[in-house]
Structure 1
Amino acid sequence: MDADQAQTLRRITADVPVAEVTLLEDRALVVRRGVVELPPGRSQLVVSEVAPVLVDKTLAATLALPRGAGPEVAELSEDLRVRSVSIRRWRVTREQDRPADLAQLRATKRDKQLALATAAARVEQLSAEHASIEQLLALTLQEINEDVSWGGQAAAQWGEQLDLLDAKLRELALEASRIKHANQLLTRELQDLQTLEAASSNPNSEVTAELTLELINPEPLPRKLELSIDYLVPGALWRPWHTARLIEPDGDQASPRVEFQCEGAVWQSTGEDWRDVQLIFSTERPSLGVQPPTLTTDMLRFRKKSSTVEVEAREQTVNTAGLGAETESAPAKSVAEEDLPGIDDGGEAIELRGRTRATIPADGRPYRVPIFSFESPAETALVCAPELDGSVILRSRQHNAAAHPLLAGPVDLVRNSGLVGRTSLLFIAPGERFELGWGPDSSLRVHRTLENLERERRMMSSWTRKPRRVTVKLSNLSPVAKTVEVKERIAVSEVEKVEVELTEASHGATADADGFVTWQAKLRGFGHESLELTWVLVVHDDVVGM
């Protein structure tokens, strides 16, 4: 390369669109790719319509061989490189440089504001004219009084003058009322326009940015290369969103099944539109940093043991991350977790790729992109927890048949009639079984009563028995027989001086380790069922607070 080529800076053009975006919890990594024909010597390439909010220190550009290039293509030399890459930003001051829809919106807003100002000026003019007519009317009445005192007799002329002034006042008042009503409508339209303007505004409507790259080709012949530019931008995020469709059995199908689809809801207001890009959804959280927590001194103190035991009742939620993976050797069971994993799966990063390429405008609105889907056979049942809700819910149990976990997020529930509601889902591993609720059965009624029975205390005993009785009544208003799983609970003691005894339960039901008592109530058509549960809380005299 001679000295003239080294000093000449050629301007070249190339299309370097956004090809791939990796979405994190509160930011995004944008990758632009394009093929450029690089002439010998120094070249300058300008990439426009870049997000003005990009983080400057993350901006990087590299050159590589075009994808699909055969082995006969020579390798890149070390001197063939991107010498520099920088961003230039400037504020948009002319309306014609703003997006067309936003410019039209602001022009409409200005017209409305001008019309409102003109109407307000007209109202002031009418008010002044109305005051002048009122003053003229007062002077006319004064003159009529003077004429009457001198014996004047012009009743017809006076009446005509008064009627004329009164008609003018009514006309002015009516016009002012119409203008004020129109002003109220204009004010409401202006408020709507301001709301729409705020929703339509994004960084590129106020600030424009472009990238300037300086490229060096020391070879005597031009080279066709692939240019990659990547940078980090704020103002972009994603959250998992799911859709479950229950396919209920009919004449041709023996068992129900659930079609489950996992999507990523994407929001971005970075100032650049992502057109036909590959989205990668990541659960990494770089904002948390890598610094370990600060350790503090934990002081331990001794105190004398009290002769009494302070006890208090509390509501304990039994959380389950899933129902376990059902195998032939180990049936499904609930696994209680104190700290359920969140979107980042306890710190283990997960990457999910969008199933199709997507277009995400920079308008801050949510767009849902499909990630994966699966179909699973389901076990449906009617369940009821009368203490929490007096409804019978249709529940389905299915397993995650996908190769990826289901992240915590909302689930849209769809049945044959369409969307029936929305629920939420916790983290579900591949192969894990989980439950979904599909809403109440309108043909079933539930009534629950709780009765505190008389306390019992035996002579020369330091224990007090506090019995309670729960009655649950079920009614079936349809002619079809149905089976309902009814779940009640009793207290569970964590101290030795408080005991819980299950004394009586319908159909010989027993309580599990968490205190839940379950019945399978079979209701015939237009039938009813009554279930009773009696349990006793046995408290020692040393216990206070119960």
Structure 2
Amino acid sequence: MNPIETRIESVTVYTDRALITRRGEAQLSTGASEVLLAGLPANLDTDSLRASGRGEVGVRIIGVEARLLPLTEASNESAREVEREFNAARDAGSALDSESTSLENRSQTLQKLSSDAARWFAESLSKGESSLDNVTALLDYVSNQTRQLDADKTSLEAKKRDNAALQNALSERLAQFQYGRRPQQRGVAVLVEANGEGKWELELEYVVSNASWTPLYDARVSTNAEKERFELGLNALVTQASGEDWKDVALTLSTARPGLGTLPPKLDPAWIDVPRPVYASAPPAMAMPSPPMPMASRAKRSSSDEAVAFGGAYAAPQSAPEPIEAVQVEASVESDGSTVEFALPHRLGVPSDGQTHRVAIATREFPTKFDYFAVPKRVEVAYLRTTATNTSGLSLLQGNVSIFRDGVFVGKANLKNTAPNAEFTLFLGPDEQVRAKREMTLRETDKNLLGSQKRVHFAYSIELQNLKARSVKVVVQDQIPVSRSENIKVKLRGSNPEATTGELGLLNWEQVLAPNEKRIIRFDFGVETPRETTIVGLTD
């Protein structure tokens, strides 16, 4: 029987693999028969195969088995197409190498021209054959050409990186076809028994490796006094090199981790012993090969057959006089408490190229509290901080966060795993309008020469300043030294206002500053040591 034509209908991507659902139509006759599928990826997990179906006739599925099928002409043509793409990418890489050589020659020419300019100018000036304007024009030309050359080199390096990534992806796909040219390919046979003749739609599920997704967040913060807001947008970076392109599929992203298996890890004995002499050993015996590892268990399938989106879709372009704001795509969310699945509301494609492809999942606004955090021992400006509550009802996964404050990109941070209704904190960058300046006001050594101990007294002041037109809360952190020797004693002598002490000598103050208010924090401490002791690490 010839293989039936199938298409990938949906994909569920996990953190280290993907569950593929293929569908195809078969014409069945009464009795037992086989339905063949060909051209499947070589790295599919054969233990994960599962078949189901529906159609015009009643069908009993007897079994599902992976096979090596004769290579079809269509597969040969696919291999030739990948080979043509690979050769084209390799030729493009050679052209880029030639361009790189040309740029290097230009660079050497400009360097020689620049070094010869001064000598040429001196000789020409002594002969009265040149002027300062001529030399200035030459130097300007060299400078402009150098800037253009640097820009061309930067652009070329980006093209070479993209070309190398494309060649690697095509090389992997071509290597998968090499096995097929023997002449066999990966296929699956579904053994069925039908009670009549008619059309039957087969659905086959299997798990492939070389596929993953990671979360990426966009934090958008408005610090407007009238409407402070904190929005967190969740995106996904999807990567796959499974050997088959996902074209126009229903994509679901899952936080489940089927790769961990069903059994908890086992602890081996933690042996301790006394040192034993080491003797020269005889040559090691030939090691027996390790037994093959068992195949990973089949990935859990989503309990929902259809993904229902909530939220909006992209606004359709209209020829209206007023511009229409774009609406963010929202994925539908399903959670069973331990795992979360995001079903994207639109079909999309992810090629098997090993590169990351970004897709939007959802955007949520969280209740938040803003304050400022200052470490004046290190820097004089305070850092804006937000403490938000995860009211989404879902766990937020650990991931990188791109932070936009009042529409301006200010940097990146990292979000830790956050349970529902738990708080999480993000720093949003420095704010020049909230300042904290630290100054040493006293360093005095005890003048008493009769005792065996030496005492040094340190005092500091911290000037806080709020240049904003509204009140702000500032958390100030400083420290006193921490002794590692029993001969060195450190004692906080005073603090105004009183500080909250933490571990390892940390001091914290919480202050609320009115608009344009200045406030002074003072603290002092003493260090006591034997008189002849040298202290290491005591700095301002």
TM-score, normalised with respect to structure 1: 0.61
Counterpart residue number, 1:233: 208
Alignment of 1:101-500 (within 5 A): 102=85, 105-106=88-89, 108-109=91-92, 112=95, 195=164, 197-198=166-167, 201=170, 203-208=172-177, 211-222=186-197, 224-249=199-224, 251=226, 253=227, 256-275=228-247, 276-284=249-257, 286=259, 290-298=264-272, 350-356=338-344, 358-449=348-439, 453-456=443-446, 465-475=455-465, 484-491=474-481, 500=490
Counterpart residue number, 1:60: 49
Q: Is the 8 A contact 2:418 2:424 kept in 1?
A: yes
By how many angstroms is 1:384 displaced? 0.9
Q: Give the SS at the match of 1:98.
A: helix
Give, in whole Å, the separation in 2 of the partners of 1:94 and 1:14. Answer: 16
Q: Is the 8 A contact 2:4 2:24 kept in 1?
A: no
Q: Which runs of 5+ in 2 are unaligned?
A: 103-151, 276-335
Give, in whole Å, the separation in 2 of the partners of 1:492 and 1:349. Answer: 45
1:533 alignment partner AA: F
Q: Is the 8 A contact 2:433 2:467 kept in 1?
A: yes
Q: Is the 8 A contact 1:84 1:215 kept in 2?
A: yes
Q: Give the SS at the match of 2:411.
A: strand
Quickly say closer, same or farther: Cα 1:444–1:384, change in 2 above 3 A.
same
Q: Give the SS at the match of 1:51.
A: coil
Counterpart residue number, 1:81: 62
By how many angstroms is 1:42 displaced? 5.4
Q: Give the SS at the match of 2:85.
A: helix
By how many angstroms is 1:400 displaced? 0.5
Counterpart residue number, 2:137: none
Quickly say closer, same or farther: Cα 1:539–1:225, change in 2 above 3 A.
farther
Give, in whole Å, the separation in 1 of the partners of 2:35 and 2:509. Answer: 72
By how many angstroms is 1:221 displaced? 0.9
Query: For residues 202-247 of structure 1, what are the alpha-carbon distances to aligned partners after superposition, in whole Å with 9 as ceiling and x for unaligned?
Result: 5334433654343444445135545343333332222222222223
Aligned residue-pair number: 410
Larger mean CA deviation between 222-231 and 403-412 belongs to 222-231
By how many angstroms is 1:408 displaced? 1.6
1:237 alignment partner AA: S
Structure 2 residue 98 is the aligned partner of structure 1 residue 98 = no
Counterpart residue number, 1:331: none
Give, in whole Å, the separation in 2 of the partners of 1:473 and 1:296. Answer: 54
Q: Is the 8 A contact 1:234 1:270 kept in 2?
A: yes
Give, in whole Å, the separation in 2 of the partners of 1:280 and 1:110. Answer: 35
1:84 alignment partner AA: E
Give, in whole Å, the separation in 2 of the partners of 1:495 and 1:293. Answer: 39
Query: For residues 382-412 of structure 1, what are the alpha-carbon distances to aligned partners after superposition, in whole Å with 9 as ceiling and x for unaligned?
Result: 2212234433111111100122211221111
Give, in whole Å, the separation in 1 of the partners of 2:454 and 2:202. Answer: 82
Q: Is the 8 A contact 1:259 1:375 kept in 2?
A: yes
Q: Which runs of 5+ in 1 are unaligned?
A: 1-9, 120-183, 302-347
Give, in whole Å, the separation in 2 of the partners of 1:23 and 1:32. Answer: 17
Q: Is the 8 A contact 1:354 1:370 kept in 2?
A: no
Q: Is the 8 A contact 1:487 1:519 kept in 2?
A: no
Give, in whole Å, the separation in 2 of the partners of 1:52 and 1:354. Answer: 28
Quickly say closer, same or farther: Cα 1:421–1:460, change in 2 above 3 A.
same
- Aligned with residue 522 of structure 1, among 505, 513, 520: 513
Query: For residues 291-343 of structure 1, what are the alpha-carbon distances to aligned partners after superposition, in whole Å with 9 as ceiling and x for unaligned?
Result: 52321234699xxxxxxxxxxxxxxxxxxxxxxxxxxxxxxxxxxxxxxxxxx
Q: Is the 8 A contact 1:453 1:468 kept in 2?
A: yes
Q: Is the 8 A contact 2:388 2:423 kept in 1?
A: yes
Name which one, 1 or 2, has greater alpha-carbon Rg.
1
Quickly say closer, same or farther: Cα 1:112–1:439, change in 2 above 3 A.
closer
By how many angstroms is 1:270 displaced? 1.6
Give, in whole Å, the separation in 2 of the partners of 1:35 and 1:469. Answer: 83
Quickly say closer, same or farther: Cα 1:372–1:491, change in 2 above 3 A.
farther
Q: Give the SS at the match of 1:427.
A: coil
By how many angstroms is 1:381 displaced? 1.7
TM-score, normalised with respect to structure 2: 0.61
Give, in whole Å, the separation in 2 of the partners of 1:539 and 1:272. Answer: 72
Identity %: 19
Give, in whole Å, the separation in 2 of the partners of 1:21 and 1:279. Answer: 5
Give, in whole Å, the separation in 2 of the partners of 1:530 and 1:250. Answer: 25
By how many angstroms is 1:466 displaced? 4.5
By how many angstroms is 1:262 displaced? 2.6
**How well do the aligned residues superpose, as a CA RMSD in angstroms?**
4.7
Counterpart residue number, 1:165: none
Q: Is the 8 A contact 2:13 2:213 kept in 1?
A: no
1:518 alignment partner AA: W
Quickly say closer, same or farther: Cα 1:377–1:41, change in 2 above 3 A.
same
Give, in whole Å, the separation in 2 of the partners of 1:426 and 1:463. Answer: 48
Quickly say closer, same or farther: Cα 1:193–1:33, change in 2 above 3 A.
closer
By how many angstroms is 1:196 displaced? 5.7
Counterpart residue number, 1:502: 492
Quickly say closer, same or farther: Cα 1:481–1:377, change in 2 above 3 A.
closer
Q: Give the SS at the match of 1:260.
A: strand
Query: For residues 133-187 of structure 1, what are the alpha-carbon distances to aligned partners after superposition, in whole Å with 9 as ceiling and x for unaligned?
Result: xxxxxxxxxxxxxxxxxxxxxxxxxxxxxxxxxxxxxxxxxxxxxxxxxxx99xx
Quickly say closer, same or farther: Cα 1:545–1:295, change in 2 above 3 A.
farther
Q: Give the SS at the match of 1:17.
A: strand
